[in-house]
Amino acid sequence: MHVLVLVLCLVGLIPAAHMERKSRKAARGALMEASVVQTRRARVFGRMSNSTAGIAYYVALGVASFFLTSPAVWPAACIAAVAAALLSAYLAYSLAFVTRMPCAYCWTGHLINWALLAAVLAAHGAPA
C-alpha cells in the first residue's frame, strides 16, 4: 500500500501545483480567464489557497506512507485522508452545483483524494 499511496501523492501534486500557479497568477491580476481560483471557495482555510493546503497534504502523506504500519502514524494519516476526502466532497459539490465552472484539475484532485482515503484505509489491514 505504501507504493500506491506514494504514487497517488506524487500524481496529486500535479493538479495542486497547477492550481497554485493559477492562484498566484490571479492574485497578481494576470489571469486572463475566469477560474475557480477566483472564488471564495478557493480559500477554505482563510488566506491560504486550497492548492497550498493540497501540496502540504500530498507531501506530508507521501512521507507518512513510509510509516503507515506504525500504530502512531496510521491513525494520523487516516484522519488527514478523511478530512481531505470530506473537503473534496464539499468542493466537488460546490464545483458542480454552485460555481458551475469546468475544472479538470479540480476533479483530478478530488478523485485522487478519494483514492487516497481508500488506500490509507486499506493500508491498515495490509501486511508489514
Higher pLDDT among residues 92 and 128, named by residue: 92
Phi and psi at residue 100, in whole multiples of 5°? 50, 45
pLDDT of amino acid 127: 57
Spatial contact of 84 and 76, defined as CB atoms under 8 Å apart: no
The yes-or-no verdict on residue 70 having pLDDT over 80 is yes
Q: Which three cell numbers stand for residue 113?
A: 483524494
Identify the structural domains of the chain with CATH numbers, from first to last: 2-125 (1.20.1440.130)
Taking only the tens place, the pLDDT of each residue in 74-118 is 999 999 999 999 999 999 999 999 999 889 999 999 999 999 999
pTM: 0.92
